[in-house]
Structure 1
Amino acid sequence: MILTVTPNPSLDRTYELPGLVRGAVLRATSDRVDPGGKGVNVSRAVAAAGHRTVAVAPLGGPEGALLARLLGEHGIEAAGVPIAGSTRINITLVEPDGTLTKVNAAGPEIGPAEADALLDRVRARSVGADWIACCGSLPRGLPPQWYAELVSRSHRAGTRIALDTSGPALVAALPERPDVIKPNAEELAEAVGRPLATVGDAVKAAQELCERGARSVLASLGATGQLLVEESGAYFASARVDAVRSDVGAGDASLAGFLTAGGRGRAALTSAVAHGAAAVQLAGSVMPTPAGLDLSAVVTTADVPLDLALGQPAP
């Protein structure tokens, strides 16, 4: 079982448009609403793969009630913590050529009592969990050290932690030794305070974060591929994608694929890349099922292409 923690969940509404014209009244050719937030997306991908998952999140207002109902429809047990504010709604506009325009709301402010209730809910529901995946930015009211406290508490309870966040929240959590962190290239560069131009630069940055506390680093490098740096060494994997329909939630699908495949080593990295490649070919933030995965299309190697420029697809 994988338990996810999403401190700032959302309802994600996606509109597909014939074209985006500023100042005009536009008619969508299709629209959909999905439960959203990075941890929620991980739960959706885990459930789509046929595994049990529980989603812990603050839920408020009619939007929170709808989010809980949608989670249930996806086969996810919602462990919601009531809050005074309302769950946010994010908007994605999709043009025919695949261009995405996203509008993400700030979300509600979480009070001290609500923050403590979230930590208590994680402790209560994590019994028997194989992994806890803590994902996304922290909402207003939660200090950068909140994730660090969650990692510390969970390790004391003997549960492995995957952390997908960025900025001060990521840096503050490193000394607590999260079992895996999952930055993208920009977040990795931010964490080490320098630009990254090549896969080799990303390897050095990931190794630095391991020295600062992370037990392993799963780095999403966009179209270039994904990188795994852990105690056993560094691995690189990539997959060709013919057409990208939506990259919303693709990184979260990758993390789900990594964790459901054991959370370490080449096999888990292959699963992560296969899940991400399948997700970008689906509408909105739809998560792939096992039938949609193509593990044979993933090339995984310990011979990391250090000179490959970030942003350039692997050969």
Structure 2
Amino acid sequence: MIITVTLNPSLDRTFDTERLLVGEVNRALRTHLDAGGKGINVSRALQQNGIATVAVFPIGGADGPVLVSELERHGVPAHPVPIAGAIRSNVTITVPDGGTTKVNAPGPRIDDDEQARILAAVDEHLRPGTTCVIAAGSLPEGVPTSILSRLAALAAAHHVPFALDTSDAPLAAAVRAGGLAVVKPNEHELAELVGRELHTVGDVRDAAREVVALGTEAVLVSLGAHGALLVTAEACWWAGGDPIVPVSTVGAGDSTLAGYVAADGRAPSERLRTAVAWGRAAVQLPGTEMPRPEQIDLAAVTVVEEPNPSLTLKEL
């Protein structure tokens, strides 16, 4: 069982257009409605591939029941925690060349009592057989960054690894607190975290090692079209494949993290291969649709141990 925690869930509305003209009337060719939020996307990807999961998240407002019904429709186990505020609705506009424009709402205020109920919901599912707790996405208004270290401590009390995918101040605070099994920034988030630009494989590796030194076991750095790097204290691996034309990049990073945790118990290189294969499959699907097993091609992913540190990221 893998528990995901999404503190800022959303109902995602995606509009596929022929082109996007700012300031003009744009007409959609197709629309998609998905239960969203990074942790929820991870649970959706895991469920699509037959891996036991439960999604824990706050719920409130008119879009709350719609989000829950979307998860029910797809058979994704959920533990919604009622709150007074309304969850957000995010909008994505896609164009045929894979370009994606997102407008994300800020989300609700979640008070101390509601935060405590979310933590209690996670604790309820922490039992023998739980293999990972994943917190993913932004923090809504009123939620302190310390909630991530509280989640990490809760998982640690049950001897369960804790994975994190967030950014900005919450990422920095969680990394300083330590106790993370894996953290999944992209190269821009990692650069902001260490306070310098990252141009080469060596730059990313060294920055990731700084994170590891603070108490994180592994750093999974997504590089978009250029694959991903997995860095531990002892080694570094790169994985990627032939160029593909994306349909939608929304949720691809969440699918990548899902693939990584799904491959628990395998060698680090194979966990990375699985992560990248799941991410590559996701970008070829519309909206925030998550890939099924037959859409994931492990053989299309190349893994290189100790890649040349002088290579620029664009050369990967």
In the superposition, the TM-score normalised over structure 1's length comes to: 0.96
2:158 is aligned to 157
2:244 is aligned to 242
Verify the 8 A CA contact 1:236 1:301 in the aligned structure 2: yes
Report the alpha carbon displacement of residue 150 of structure 1 after superposing the two structures with TM: 1.0
1:298 is aligned to 301
Report the alpha carbon displacement of residue 313 of structure 1 after superposing the two structures with TM: 4.9
Please give the alpha-carbon distance, in whole angstroms, between the structure 2 residues aligned to 1:22 and 1:201: 37
Report the alpha carbon displacement of residue 27 of structure 1 after superposing the two structures with TM: 2.1
Please give the alpha-carbon distance, in whole angstroms, between the structure 2 residues aligned to 1:89 and 1:11: 5
Corresponding residue SS for 2:237:
strand
Report the alpha carbon displacement of residue 158 of structure 1 after superposing the two structures with TM: 1.2
Verify the 8 A CA contact 2:257 2:275 in the aligned structure 1: yes
Report the alpha carbon displacement of residue 231 of structure 1 after superposing the two structures with TM: 4.1
CA distances 1:122-150 after superposition (whole Å, capped 9, x unpaired): 11122231111110111111111110111
1:55 is aligned to 55
Contiguous gaps of at least 5 residues in structure 2: none
2:194 is aligned to 192
Corresponding residue SS for 2:210:
helix
Is 1:273 matched with 2:273? no
Verify the 8 A CA contact 1:111 1:141 in the aligned structure 2: yes
Report the alpha carbon displacement of residue 78 of structure 1 after superposing the two structures with TM: 1.0
Match of 2:285 among 279, 282, 287: 282
Report the alpha carbon displacement of residue 25 of structure 1 after superposing the two structures with TM: 2.7
CA distances 1:185-240 after superposition (whole Å, capped 9, x unpaired): 01111111111011110000000000011111111112221111124411111112
Matched letter for residue 215 of structure 2 = G
Contiguous gaps of at least 5 residues in structure 1: none
In the superposition, the TM-score normalised over structure 2's length comes to: 0.96
1:217 is aligned to 219
1:9 is aligned to 9
Verify the 8 A CA contact 2:274 2:298 in the aligned structure 1: yes
1:117 is aligned to 117
Report the alpha carbon displacement of residue 61 of structure 1 after superposing the two structures with TM: 1.6
2:207 is aligned to 205
Report the alpha carbon displacement of residue 97 of structure 1 after superposing the two structures with TM: 2.3
Cα root mean square deviation, aligned = 1.3
Verify the 8 A CA contact 1:98 1:244 in the aligned structure 2: yes
CA distances 1:67-90 after superposition (whole Å, capped 9, x unpaired): 111111222111011011111100
Please give the alpha-carbon distance, in whole angstroms, between the structure 2 residues aligned to 1:303 and 1:232: 10
CA distances 1:88-147 after superposition (whole Å, capped 9, x unpaired): 100011122222111100111111111111111111122231111110111111111110
Corresponding residue SS for 1:170:
helix
Corresponding residue SS for 2:66:
helix
Verify the 8 A CA contact 1:88 1:108 in the aligned structure 2: yes
